[in-house]
Chains A and B, each alone.
Chain A
Amino acid sequence: MKSSKIGYLTKEGLKSIVTHGFMSFASVTIIVACLVIMGSFTLIAVNVDAILDDLESENQVVAYVEETFPEEEARALQPQIEYLANVRSCQFVSRQEAWDEWVGQQENQSSFQSLPAEVLRDRYIIYLDDISLMDQTSEQLSGIIGIARVRADTKVAEGFMAVRNVVSAVSLILIVVLVVVSVFIMANTVKLATVSRKDEIAIMKMVGASNWFIRFPFVVEGLVLGLFGGLLAFLLEWAVYDVMTGQILNLLGNLLTVVPFASISLAVLAVYLGVGLVVGVFGSSIAIRNYLQV
């Protein structure tokens, strides 16, 4: 293909964005609206997931060391615990530290001053990577020689799992429905934009234009409108996200973790531009296909 021809067809595609201004505006608006609605739901799901992650990470397992183990031997168990696959981190708490903490929490601290710290055991506070494997990890911990007892709140873990599953299922269904609806709306908008150009395509065919000659400007037009729509949706999403998260943080303070937009902005931008590009290019190519069969 000659470069002058590509230049001409690209120019024609760009020109037609202006000459068919209303349809260009409608296409971009639809792309932006669909992306922002879909994106907002996805970002809500991402945040709910992050909040659950945060809450889950607070869920700890406590492994108590045999009473007979002196502190040095108790401390020596740490590598064995850390070696377990699901253990994210573990912290040794000596009897004395545990005692001090417990006494510190009591109202009448003086009543306990006479008791020795030995009534408590040395212990490990263990944080897991995946709380759904809490039972399994507890068993592995119990199997370590020197660990007398393991306390794991599996009911809480199960509760988290149930919430996460519901949230994941609802998010997935909503996102799939929104994607289907968005694709349908976008395809129809592109189709509508093409119907108005039916005569133009027929004239080009009559004059001897090949299919790619007709399709190329449409693809350029779709590509530019799609990318522009994606970029616009990204900026709008950013603004909406900042305003909404600002309001939530003002209202709830530090009770909730909010994913900062900056940390996901590149991924959001890539997805939006990608969706815009695919919808623009494939939408316009597929929409004019019927008119090329003359």
Chain B
Amino acid sequence: MVLFENVSMTYPGGDVPAIDDMSFAIEDGEFVFLVGPSGSGKTSIIKLITGEVTANSGTLNVNGFDLRHIRRRKLPLMRRTVGVIFQDFRLIDDMTVYDNVAFAMHIVGATNRDIRRRVPYVLDLVGLSGREKRYPREVSGGEQQRVAVARAIVNSPQLLIADEPTGNLDPARSLELMLLMDRINGNEMGTTVLVVTHEKELVNSFSKRVIAIEDGRVISDGMDGYYSYEIK
């Protein structure tokens, strides 16, 4: 669960708040689109949820962790409950597809036996069977993004965040990826999914909750699954 209650955050040295008295809640098992123009605060919300920055005021709770008062050494534990997918994939170039996924399991202290069982299963789930020994540079952009998805879900996180996941993909690959996220949210795993995007057509093709933000504030939050917000 993600809970923002009157959260405000200003970056060090900045005078305008990036997040201004923001409140919303995402329940376990939900699929939510977070939309808004560039500079509206989408990335700041992700940074707050992943503990990269700290809120100046309000209540911020992610998967049971109070992120305003969390100790630094507890941050890794919180991050293990959140899977993040980035627009630029952020894979480790020197690791094979298999190792890029496996190292996330090593981090949580999984046994080699569990890793050998789980990684092939997840790679199969995202459609990457047979690509295990390749390096990121040896697979397509769509496949790299699926490696990032595999890495994000391999530890069965409670929350999956995708930051502009389709930004580097063509429409067909984008739709494929969103269907995969839908499966991860559905019966397949039941993971809470938060997709940050500004792709109107993609949002409108799914009937999901849409939170729209502008200037660090929530301007609409609807269950109608429609991207009604107009980008300036």
A209 CB–B CB distance under 8 Å: yes
Is the C-beta of A145 less than 8 angstroms from some C-beta in chain B? no
B107 close to chain A: CB less than 8 A: yes
| A208 touching B90, Cβ below 8 Å | no
User: In the bound complex, do residue A209 and residue B94 qualify as a contact, i.e. CB atoms below 8 Å apart?
Assistant: no
Q: Does A294 contact B (CB under 8 A)?
A: yes
With A4-B112, A207-B79, A208-B80 already in contact, the answer to whether A200 and B92 are too (CB < 8 A) is yes
**Chain B residues positioned under 8 Å from A243 (CB to CB):** none
Assess whether B84 is interfacial by the CB under 8 Å rule: yes
Q: How far is the CB of A164 from chain B (nearest CB, A)?
A: 54
In the complex, which of the residues A2, A202, A209, A294 contacts B107, with contact meaning CB atoms closer than 8 Å?
A209
Query: What string of 1s and 0s marks CB contacts (under 8 Å) between B67-105 and chain A?
Result: 000000100111110101000001110100000000110
The distance from the CB of A285 to the nearest CB of chain B, in whole angstroms, is 17
- Identify the closest chain B residue to A1 (Cβ): B109
Q: Pick the contact of A203 from B52, B73, B78, B92 — CB < 8 Å?
A: B92
Contact, CB under 8 Å: B106 / A210: no
A208 near B52 (CB under 8 angstroms)? no
Count B interface residues, CB 8 Å: 24
Which residues of A42-96 have CB atoms within 8 Å of chain B's CB atoms? none
- Contacts A19-B94, A213-B107 given: A206-B84 contact, CB under 8 Å? yes
Interface band, chain A:
20 to 34
Contact of B76 among A8, A9, A15, A208 (CB under 8 A): A208
A206 near B106 with CB under 8 A, answer no
Give the nearest-CB partner of B82 in chain A: A208
- Bound Cα distance from A2 to B177, whole angstroms: 36
The digit string for A260-294, where 1 denotes a CB below 8 A from any CB of B, is: 00000000000000000000000000000000001
Q: Find out whether the CB atom of A8 lies under 8 angstroms from the CB atom of B106.
A: yes
Chain B contacts for A202, CB-based, 8 A: 90
Q: Does A155 have its Cβ within 8 Å of any Cβ on chain B? A: no
Q: Does B198 contact A (CB under 8 A)?
A: no
Please tell me if A153 contacts chain B, counting CB pairs below 8 Å.
no
In the complex formed, the residue of B with least CB distance to A203 is B90
> Which residues of B sit under 8 angstroms from A205, Cβ to Cβ?
76, 79
What is the minimal beta-carbon distance from A220 to any residue of chain B, in angstroms? Answer: 15
B12-43 CB mask vs A (1 if < 8 Å, else 0) is: 00000000000000000000000000000000
Cβ-neighbour of B79 out of A9, A15, A199, A208 (below 8 A): A208
B111 within 8 A of A: yes
**What B residues does A2 contact at CB under 8 A?**
109
A11 to chain B: closest CB distance in Å?
A: 10
Q: How far is the CA of A191 from the CA of B108 in the complex (A)?
A: 28
Q: Identify which of B76, B84, B90, B91 contacts A210 (C-beta below 8 A).
A: B76
List residues of chain B with CB under 8 Å of any chain A CB: 50, 52, 73, 76-80, 82, 84, 90-92, 94, 103-104, 106-109, 111-112, 151, 155
Q: List 6 A-B contacts (CB under 8 A).
A: A16-B94, A199-B90, A205-B79, A208-B79, A208-B104, A213-B106
- 6 nearest interchain CB pairs? A208-B80, A208-B79, A19-B94, A210-B76, A209-B107, A208-B76
Q: What residues of chain A have their CB less than 8 Å away from a CB belonging to chain B?
A: 2, 4-5, 8-9, 12, 15-16, 19-20, 199-200, 202-210, 213, 294
